[in-house]
Amino acid sequence: DIQMTQSPSSLSASVGDRVTISCRASQYIATYLNWYQQRPGKVPRLLIYTASSLQSGVPSRFSGSGSGTDFTLTISSLQPEDFATYYCQQSYTTPTWTFGQGTKVEIK
Amino acid sequence: QVQLVQSGAEVKKPGASVKISCETSGYIFTSYAIHWVRQAPGQGLEWMGWFNGGNGNTKASQRFQDKVSITRDTSANTVYLELNSLSAEDTAVYYCARSERQSASYHDFWGQGTLVTVSS
């Protein structure tokens, strides 16, 4: 199975900060990489699909990049509602998909 | 509009089984797949398996293949996840989520989650 490793596992940041989260796949996955946001007690929400495509309704401060094995989620200016846990997911090996372990973004 | 509505919370004893449902509506069922995702308390998301709405095939991850059975009610667009031989480690929220049936897809709609608690 393809393993997905996110870094860091958690980070503290202030409103207005630029935040970057990394995700590395254990093998080549082209751009078959998705990002989800999960606020506490809530259902996960799709942010980015196929590495860099912004899901409808998601603010433009979120962006994704990368291909092959290394990917990045960037929040250009952190807002109060962005404090949450973020997960990457590979969909290269359909139907066996895998999530990263998550990155928790906390208030500094 | 697309909706995935899951059955309610369950409390089960160790060794028992549980079957939870995901009722879908608002889209063409056969054009999509339904996945199951587990989230243990305070933990991350784990992909468990899927049901291919186009051909009825199912696939579970290696970690869960002896634990789960994924089925469909053919009279309704409802997918079921059955968990057997429950233990405390199965206490979690279980989500169903939709995707297209091919690679490069993603979960665009999710159910509200079903909490399964395993306790003696």
Checking if the pLDDT of B101 tops 90, the result is no
Checking if the pLDDT of A25 tops 80, the result is yes
The answer to whether A16 and A107 have CB atoms below 8 angstroms apart is: no
**CB-based contact (8 Å) between A32 and chain B?**
yes
Query: Does A96 sit within 8 Å of B106, measured CB to CB?
Result: no
Query: Does B52 sit within 8 Å of A95, measured CB to CB?
Result: yes
Cα(A57)–Cα(A46) distance, rounded to whole angstroms? 10
- Residue B104: which pLDDT band, with cuts at 50, 70 and 90? confident
The sign of the torsion formed by the CA atoms of B108, B113, B118, B119 equals positive
User: Which residue in A88, A83, A94 sits closest to A51, CA to CA?
Assistant: A88
Cα(A48)–Cα(A34) distance, rounded to whole angstroms? 5
Of A43, A45, A94, the CB nearest to B103: A94
Of A43, A87, A96, the CB nearest to B61: A96
The set of residues, in sequence order, having a beta carbon less than 8 Å from that of B75 and lying 6+ positions away, is none
The set of residues, in sequence order, having a beta carbon less than 8 Å from that of B63 and lying 6+ positions away, is B46, B48
Of B45, B49, B103, the CB nearest to A99: B45
What is the pLDDT averaged over residues A87-104?
Answer: 94
What is the pLDDT averaged over residues A7-11?
Answer: 97
Q: Which residues of B touch A (CB under 8 A)?
A: 33, 35, 37, 44-47, 49-50, 52, 59, 61-62, 95, 97, 99, 101-108, 110-113
Query: Does A44 sit within 8 Å of B107, measured CB to CB?
Result: yes
The strand pair at B3-6 and B18-25 is best described as antiparallel
pLDDT, tens only, B11-64 = 999 999 999 999 999 999 999 999 999 999 999 999 999 999 999 999 999 999
Checking if the pLDDT of B103 tops 80, the result is no
Distance from CA of B100 to the nearest CA of A (A): 10
